[in-house]
Amino acid sequence: MTTAVQEAGVQEAGFTTGDVSMPDLNTITPRFPKFKKWDIFLGIAAIHAGLVFAPSTFTWPAFRVCLALQAITALGITLGFHRLLTHRSFKVPKWLEYVVTLCGSLALQGGPIKWVATHRVHHAFSDRPQDPHSPKRGFWWAHVFWLFAYDEVLDHPTKHLRFVPELAKDPVHQFLTKTHALQTFLLGFLLYAWGGWPFVVWGIFVRTAFVYHGTWLVNSAAHIWGYQSYQTNEGSRNNWWVALISYGEGWHNNHHAYPSSAAHGLRWWELDLTYFLIRLLAMLGLATEIRLPRGNPAQLPAVSPWPSRLRLPIPNPVRSAVYG
């Protein structure tokens, strides 16, 4: 039975119902992971395997390409996929929405439509058995293993579209989603033509691994370590070092409390570079209707005990230390 609070959580997370009926959240049921997505596993393994060539191909120009693409693609995720597309916490002209979406797409984290659907389900069911990546299944599950498991709703060719009605009917977002892996290959060819293998190794492999772990730490570390400014009834935490690595996304408890706020750092010292960029876009007249925390923080229903069969059958000292 879906509670009103969970439905409110989905709406708060960015649903625009319009003439699309609300999804039946009962279809999201607790499930034991099946490790099936070998293509994703091999892709992520290949990105990490490429790191062995990093020392031998190091040049300062390649390093600068790495840093520039790291900033562009990580901000494509934090500003584009997350704060703009998932939560609609501000508005930009459509052309700019597509540009920042392309930047996020080049982070090779799945296309925008799937990413947004997954993240909306995470907010509606944070640290519940339906959450795609809760560390209650273990640190490594939340960090990366969940990506290799087939999810019968989120990985279904059409079932996940109910969580992204407005993106699913946008032909540009459809195109960017379908071609997201190809985009990285094209960027790799361009980098090879420009600077040879050092640019490919540092601009694709090192940079993508760097951005991966920045994003993944939000799902793992920022649901385990840090402080909670708000009682949200799930495990999200404000974590300063994750915030530094991920352009402000580590203020994750603030974000779960106020999902549609464009600002995640809410105290003066909670540095939030993504929000700085949003303010900069506003100064240029490109970002409008910037949403900030308003009213009471969002709160999920009290946590019910987790069935032990849903936990990963591997030892996990972090999980038992944090959750008992």
Binding site for Zn ion (CB under 5 A): 236
Minimum distance, C-beta of residue 235 to Zn ion, in the bound complex (Å): 8
Structure tokens belonging to residue 92: 């930009």
Class of residue 149 by CB neighbours under 10 A (exposed 0-12, middle 13-18, buried 19+):
buried
| Phi, psi dihedral angles at 13 (to 5 degrees) | -75, -5
Minimum distance, C-beta of residue 120 to Zn ion, in the bound complex (Å): 8
Q: Which residue has the tokens 């090879």?
A: 192
Judged by CB, which is closer to Zn ion: 177, or 274?
274
Minimum distance, C-beta of residue 119 to Zn ion, in the bound complex (Å): 5
Judged by CB, which is closer to Zn ion: 236, or 261?
236
Query: CA-CA distance, 181 to 86, in Å (whole number)?
Result: 21
Class of residue 91 by CB neighbours under 10 A (exposed 0-12, middle 13-18, buried 19+):
middle
Minimum distance, C-beta of residue 53 to Zn ion, in the bound complex (Å): 34
Residue 32 near residue 151 (C-beta atoms within 8 A):
no
Residue 255 near residue 246 (C-beta atoms within 8 A):
no
Judged by CB, which is closer to Zn ion: 69, or 103?
103
Query: CA-CA distance, 315 to 293, in Å (whole number)?
Result: 39
Judged by CB, which is closer to Zn ion: 73, or 236?
236
The one-character DSSP state at 130 is T
Minimum distance, C-beta of residue 249 to Zn ion, in the bound complex (Å): 8
Judged by CB, which is closer to Zn ion: 236, or 274?
236
The residue at minimum Cβ distance from Zn ion is 236
